[in-house]
């Protein structure tokens, strides 16, 4: 049960309210986000919701039978809009693109991508600086230096940056440069990291675990929300199955399921979702018509020379073709 | 290696040709379909293809490194068109719909669906008469009687029927009533059935096994083709994964992969692909933009009363809305 | 609900009894096996079982909440023993071995394996004559000829044969030569085949589908049982997962689960379960201690030269070592 | 390629050696563990290993074609022994038990388990203090306080503790109390955590990701090793599949595969591997005969009252029975 309190509730009144709710046999958790204040009451569902609703200090009450509460659409039907500033929003009903290289590599590379994005009306750039790699001997990214390059070159062009964070200890150093903190598939249940990202005031793009269920993804988002950060984007990036003719199995079903279950925006990652360059367009378009709010896609001027993930990266021509088709399809389905 | 012979090759000449090919250390399989005659030569890939091409009686030679040969696009780039007669074709570049109930139930039900299809410009009806059911105690279908009902009611309205066959022994009895023989997911590697369907002159819609790889699907199609039947449709209907919030995981990646690997038309089955009615539209649209040639979808006037699979069946209103969106999206992506 | 009738119940009495049960709102299915006669009553679980029990003609009643009924241990706790004649039994509390080549290849090969089995106290030989192969170009087995070779050579030595059947139409021709009919993983839900095997009086070894659930395996067994054949062996042979360092993932968990849920014997197939020769022994031993009733294992005098599956086939030395260890471990765990 | 240097190699000599190796076109990584010093040379495998072997300062050279190097058995065939002090070792050829509750709950609970372990000759206790929970509303463990309780009560009884660490920032606080740091399935590819655990001098028990491949598990171990810590235990704890009749699918195949591929000890976790109490014994015994070096199992005096995971926890009677059987089976297979 999610209980919203009246504005300006006094500490004494709140304490009193919590005691009354507890008297119904419910366990109360206070959740103070950057936007609102909630009480989460867990326990028997025999309690008559109207009796809670009539308590002093209560503005609204919603029964939420899901294991996740605050990210559920059962209490908040209106879609959450993520505001990145300077007029860049996600979840407004438009379709957002987040394009860029797997890894930030050099000033030259960042500039080439940034110019391409600006020319094509794309406002959000992706680019990894801290790369989780299966092998310890692989390229692990430029680190903070890469983020500084982005800030110097691409920010003045009006671009926002989404980049992966791998550990809570990196938040402070990354904070000045990052517009959206990405949590990768391998950290989808790194609860320490989720807790800490719940305490900051910048949006978090949370990727589904490579064998994470949709339910688990929503519970991981609940971690971030309940620590205070309501600005969360969910990302479907393919799951692990037995099929070997591509890298991951993009779970297209997850799009309508998530759009029904949560008020948070849903982003598709066709690059990792299929993992082979010549199939990326089809999967991206599928995401558009299935109801996603945006797509994060790996692009590079010369994918063959990319420092990582070149096999699933589009070149500029392919990207332009994709953008055109995606926009046309989005209009048709709206 | 696929070797196409010149028209009118004489038995003696053929025998001679096979002997010469075998002399290169290759194993020759003669494949006589209803349309063409091929020699499949397997063995060392060290053989210079030009030496085969210059043999008497050879019209063309194609190296095909896939395990499947005749269904590969490596030797036949042009898409295969399936002709159901009366102007009903699949694979011509248009998007085909095959709509109807999970099970044929009664004359009244068949008539109601048939009229709906005609009114909406759909030419192919689906409807099960022999139902594979996990439990032996479940409804197993009307059998031949159901097919006769269809023939009496829907054929005069210009509709074609696609229906599932479960055993080679049923071919003869079903043949007069069926336009497309469907092989269900559980029989995707029932090689005896595939062999026998290779000997008939009606199209076969082959569903992917519920944990079948794309490669296995193509090899199963090869069984049908090499016994003589080139009229094959491949169907993606969802695979089995760990995710529990829907019935199957529709493998959207399979669409572009199949379109690249084979010249056969690719059909999507969003009903089984997600298994929950309110998500079917999103998956169907995804199939359209990902490049499929058609969709097979379960519909019913009153899904709540359907004899089977009601949970994933659309009613007529939902179907009309879907048809409209699908056609609009198809135009946009073309 | 499973209702067992009194011996010698008269047709009139039975008809009367069925009418009375139906009056409770239950749907009655009569099941006449080669051993017993049962009534399966499906429907509301509100019915007081004692009222059914007191009807004339009823010997015993068991509530079975599982989707499968007759194969459940909820009504029959005592393990089913499979009797192959000549003192060869499976499911008696001992551990049974079924050893032999993937494919029967020649008289010489059959004789070499048969002698090895006799020398090592093994009474059941495995050997495929009809082989389901992913590719239509692969070796498909010797067919009936192979079975005749077995009958001529190995039967006089006291050996029993288990071999795969692929289609109901083969039953008649195979019947004289076969002691246990194997249903392969690809036919695990070939319901026509299961129905027909339910009508014969020889045991059936039913393999789990490669992505079949344990529940589906039991329901497939129910098909065979309810058509009249109670002599069923269930076989765990590995499932399909994402892991690529071996062929299939042997589901060791399935052994204790099946032993709890059903009264039928459970056989492990470590050869397909892991698919790599040098790991087969570990998996076989695991099956022994986890509670299986027997193992079916591929062996060959010279695995390197086997016509199929040589990579997962043990040679005679390896087999002897395995038999010794398995027997020692079986004693220790008993 | 793994290059071991001679003892007492001088900085200048090392620098010279690295330069010479690099001249072969190889990329050199220096790895200094708490025990040894290695050079990992990656690159073309055309280099003649003998030419490297003859360079000044080289003691031995091993070609390792796996993606992981230092954890491979290709250069170190002898099994690694983990020494916990006070005569407690893992990997010596004996079978080790690590038993205890899912969560440390209270002094009383710790004492009851500790006494049970001592009475049964078990030297290592498991017990969680920091619990990763899917839901943010679930019990998250006692934290450091729980570890202190263990140190006060169980250490004086001669017991060692293995407990889960969730974040690199916890190392310092946990270090005094922990004998084996456990990395849970959700952190199996938390590379920051792995890097930091590579810098400490206590053993790490690394669990396989819930959909992690065996190859990925070994690469994660490589992270720890190459940062300096050679004391690593690998743990198979079940993978995620489509099967729903138990919690996870214990991958018994992984045991012989890992024992072949790595010199590190392999531990089985039957509690999570199957997730249902009455099946745990079967899976544990399977692990013993498949070649594991030890088992980590959840036990509790009253599993019904456990703070977490009670459904998969054994009581003391069940544990005693299991210990007896496991020891008897281990003798039989040795």
Cβ(C180)–Cβ(C160) under 8 Å? yes
**Residue B292 pLDDT level (bands cut at 50, 70, 90):** very high
Which CATH number is C2-62 given? Answer: 3.30.70
3-state SS of chain B is: CEEEECCCCCHHHHHHHHHHHHCCCCEEEEEECCCCEEEEEECCCCCCHHHHHCCCCEEEEECCCCCCCCCECCCCCCCCCEECCCCCEECCCCCEEEEECCECCCHHHHHHHHHHHHHCCCCEEECECCCCCCCCCCCCCCCHHHHHHHHHHCHHHCCEEEEEECCHHHHHHHCCCCCEEEECHHHCCCHHHHHHHCCCCCCEEEECCCCCCHHHHHHHHHHHHHCCCCCEEEEECCECCCCCCCCCECECCHHHHHHHHECCCEEECHHHHHCCHHHHHHHHHHHHHHCCCEEEEEECCCHHHCCCCHHHCECHHHHHHHHHHHHHHHHHHC
**Residues of A with CB below 8 A from C242's CB?**
211, 240-242
- d(CA B161, nearest CA chain A) in Å: 28
**Residues of A with CB below 8 A from D29's CB?**
137
Cβ(B28)–Cβ(B41) under 8 Å? yes
The dihedral of CA D184, D190, D195, D196: what is its sign? Answer: negative
Residues of chain A with CATH 3.20.20.70: 82-333
Residue C35 has pLDDT above 90, yes or no: no
Per-residue pLDDT tens digits for C257-268: 999 999 999 999
Provide, for chain D, the percentages of residues in helix, strand and coil under a 3-state DSSP scheme, each rounded to the nearest 5.
40, 20, 40
Q: What is the pTM of this model?
A: 0.94
Residue of C nearest to D324 (CA): C333
* Chain D interface with B: residues with Cβ < 8 Å: 211, 240-242, 244
Residue C301 has pLDDT above 90, yes or no: yes
Give pLDDT, residue B43.
Answer: 80
Other CB atoms closer than 10 Å to residue B115's CB: what's the count?
A: 15
Residue in the structure block whose two tokens are 């199609």: B221
**Is the Cβ pair D253, C243 closer than 8 Å?**
yes
Nearest CA-CA partner of B247 in B78, B102, B116, B128: B102
**Residues of A with CB below 8 A from D40's CB?**
137
**Is the Cβ pair A213, B243 closer than 8 Å?**
yes
* Chain A interface with D: residues with Cβ < 8 Å: 29, 40, 42, 67-69, 132-137, 166-169, 186-193, 209-211, 216, 219, 222-223, 226, 240
**Is the Cβ pair A190, D189 closer than 8 Å?**
no
Residues of chain A with CATH 3.30.70: 2-62
Mean pLDDT of A237-252: 97
Give pLDDT, residue D334.
Answer: 85
Give pLDDT, residue A35.
Answer: 85
**Residues of A with CB below 8 A from D240's CB?**
211
Give pLDDT, residue C284.
Answer: 98
CA distance C249 to C246: 8
Interface test with A, best of D29, D134, D172, D249 (most A CBs within 10 A): D134
- Superfamily of domain C82-333, CATH level 4: Aldolase class I (3.20.20.70)
The dihedral of CA A103, A203, B246, B273: what is its sign? Answer: negative
Directed axis angle between helix A144-153 and helix A107-119, to 10°?
40
Listed as ranges, residues in chain D with pLDDT below 50 are none
**Complex ipTM value:** 0.93
- d(CA C13, nearest CA chain D) in Å: 41
- d(CA D185, nearest CA chain C) in Å: 16
Residue B46 has pLDDT above 80, yes or no: no
Give pLDDT, residue C45.
Answer: 64
**In which element (H, E) is residue A232 found?**
strand A232-236
- d(CA A285, nearest CA chain B) in Å: 6
Per-residue pLDDT tens digits for D76-117: 889 999 999 999 999 999 999 999 999 999 999 999 999 999
CA dihedral B180, B185, B187, B191 (to 10 degrees): 80
- d(CA C53, nearest CA chain D) in Å: 32
Residue C310 has pLDDT above 90, yes or no: no
- d(CA B198, nearest CA chain C) in Å: 12
Looking at per-residue pLDDT, the higher value among B271 and A76 belongs to: B271
Residue B44 has pLDDT above 80, yes or no: no
What percent of chain B lies above the pLDDT cut of 90? 83
Distance of CA A311 to the CA centre of its chain: 24
Neighbours of chain C (3+ CB pairs under 8 A): A, B, D
Give pLDDT, residue B45.
Answer: 63
Mean pLDDT of A2-27: 91
Range with the largest mean pLDDT of A60-64, A88-92, B21-25: A88-92
Neighbours of chain D (3+ CB pairs under 8 A): A, B, C
Count how many pairs of residues, chain C against chain D, have C-beta atoms within 8 Å.
128
Residue of C nearest to D273 (CA): C253
Residue of D nearest to C322 (CA): D333
Residue in the structure block whose two tokens are 């005896």: B192
Cβ(D104)–Cβ(D141) under 8 Å? yes
The dihedrals phi and psi of A311, each to the nearest 5 degrees, come to -65, -20
Per-residue pLDDT tens digits for C170-222: 999 999 999 999 999 999 999 999 999 999 999 999 999 999 999 999 999 99
Cβ(C296)–Cβ(C311) under 8 Å? no
**Residues of D with CB below 8 A from A136's CB?**
191, 219, 222-223, 226
Mean pLDDT of A43-59: 85
Mean pLDDT of A272-288: 98
Average pLDDT, chain A: 94
The dihedrals phi and psi of C91, each to the nearest 5 degrees, come to 100, 15
Residue of D242, D246, D332 with shortest CB distance to C253: D246
Give pLDDT, residue D44.
Answer: 67
CA distance C46 to C24: 10
- d(CA B145, nearest CA chain A) in Å: 36
**Is the Cβ pair D168, A167 closer than 8 Å?**
yes
Looking at per-residue pLDDT, the higher value among A67 and B152 belongs to: B152
**Is the Cβ pair D222, A136 closer than 8 Å?**
yes
Residue of B42, B68, B167 with shortest CB distance to C192: B167
**Residues of A with CB below 8 A from B214's CB?**
243, 245
Residue C150 has pLDDT above 80, yes or no: yes
Give pLDDT, residue A202.
Answer: 98
Residue of A nearest to C211 (CA): A242
Residue of A nearest to C244 (CA): A242
Residue of B245, B260, B332 with shortest CB distance to A213: B245
- d(CA D323, nearest CA chain C) in Å: 12
**Residue B47 pLDDT level (bands cut at 50, 70, 90):** confident
**Residue A44 pLDDT level (bands cut at 50, 70, 90):** low
Residue of B69, B186, B240 with shortest CB distance to C189: B186
Count how many pairs of residues, chain A against chain C, have C-beta atoms within 8 Å.
8
Interface test with B, best of D239, D242, D245, D247 (most B CBs within 10 A): D242
Give pLDDT, residue C142.
Answer: 95
């Amino acid at each position: 049960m999610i209980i919203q309190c009246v504005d300006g509730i006094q500490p004494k009144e709140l304490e009193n309210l919590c005691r009354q709710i507890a008297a119904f046999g419910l366990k109360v958790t206070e959740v103070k986000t950057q936007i609102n204040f909630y009480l989460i009451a867990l326990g028997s569902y025999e309690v008559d919701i109207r009796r809670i609703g009539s308590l002093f200090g209560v503005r609204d009450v919603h029964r939420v039978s899901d294991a996740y509460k605050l990210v559920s659409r059962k209490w908040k039907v209106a879609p959450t809009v993520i505001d990145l500033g300077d007029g860049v929003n996600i979840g407004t009903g438009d379709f957002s693109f987040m394009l860029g290289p797997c890894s930030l590599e050099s000033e030259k590379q960042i500039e080439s991508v940034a110019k391409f994005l600006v020319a094509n009306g794309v406002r959000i750039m992706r680019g990894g600086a801290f790369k989780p790699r299966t092998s310890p001997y692989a390229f692990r990214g430029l680190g903070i230096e890469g983020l500084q390059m982005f800030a110097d070159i691409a920010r003045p062009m009006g671009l926002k940056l989404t980049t992966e964070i791998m550990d809570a200890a990196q938040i402070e150093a990354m904070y000045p440069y990052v517009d959206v903190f990405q949590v990768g598939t391998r950290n989808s249940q790194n609860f320490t990291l989720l807790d800490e990202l719940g305490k900051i005031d910048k949006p978090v793009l949370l990727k589904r675990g490579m064998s994470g269920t949709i339910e688990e993804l929503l519970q991981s988002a609940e971690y971030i929300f309940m620590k205070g950060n309501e600005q969360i984007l969910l990302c479907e990036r393919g799951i692990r199955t037995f099929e070997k003719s591509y890298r991951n199995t993009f779970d297209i079903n997850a799009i309508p399921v998530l759009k029904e279950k949560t008020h948070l925006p849903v982003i598709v990652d066709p690059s990792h979702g299929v993992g082979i360059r010549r199939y990326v367009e089809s999967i991206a378009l599928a995401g558009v018509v299935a109801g996603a709010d945006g797509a994060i896609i790996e692009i590079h001027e010369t994918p063959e020379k990319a420092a990582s993930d070149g096999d699933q990266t589009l070149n500029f021509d392919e990207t332009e073709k994709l953008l055109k088709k995606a926009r046309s399809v989005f209009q048709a389905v709206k």
